Amino acid sequence: MLVTSSPEQVLITLREPASAAAEAYRTLRTNILFSSLDKPIHTLLLTAAEPTPEKSLTAANLAVTMAQAEQRVLLVDCDLRQPSLHTLFGLSNEQGLTSSILDQDAPLAIQSTDVPGLSLLP
Domain layout of the chain by residue ranges: 12-121
CATH class of 12-121: alpha beta
pTM (predicted TM-score)? 0.87
Rounded to whole angstroms, the Cα distance separating 103 from 114 reads 27
**What is the tens place of the pLDDT at every residue in 70-111?**
999 999 999 988 899 999 999 999 999 998 889 888 888 999
**What is the tens place of the pLDDT at every residue in 24-77?**
999 999 999 999 888 888 999 998 888 887 899 999 999 999 999 999 999 999
Is residue 2 within 8 Å of 15, Cβ to Cβ? yes
